[in-house]
Amino acid sequence: MKEHMVRLSFDIPEDQHILLKTGCAQLKIAIKDFLYEMTQKGLKELKEKQLHDRLKKSIQQSKEGKIRKVSLKELDQWEKDLENDSE
């Protein structure tokens, strides 16, 4: 069964397009494949950073007595959210 596809369109400066097109040609990969992989990688990194920042903030606030401690249940849920988003 063929997956339903949609078109994604956005504007970039001409010089960046030339760099992207040249780089993909040198690597012998399609621009769409490169952008898909980079999008997936970027989203995963952003989600990991958000989790890291949330944990860091919670730890700092806990040390300062400004917030309740984060429960193991919450940490487990954050980890599950990260795992589910990376699939």
What are the residue ranges spanned by the domains of the chain? Answer: 14-85
Higher pLDDT, 44 or 55: 44
86 — pLDDT class (breaks 50, 70, 90): low
pLDDT score of 71: 78
Dist. CA 80–CA 24, nearest whole Å: 34
pLDDT score of 80: 82
**Entry field: residues in the chain:** 87
Beta-carbon contacts of 75 under 8 Å, excluding residues fewer than 6 positions away, are 55
Looking at the chain, the whole-number percentage of residues with pLDDT higher than 70 is 91
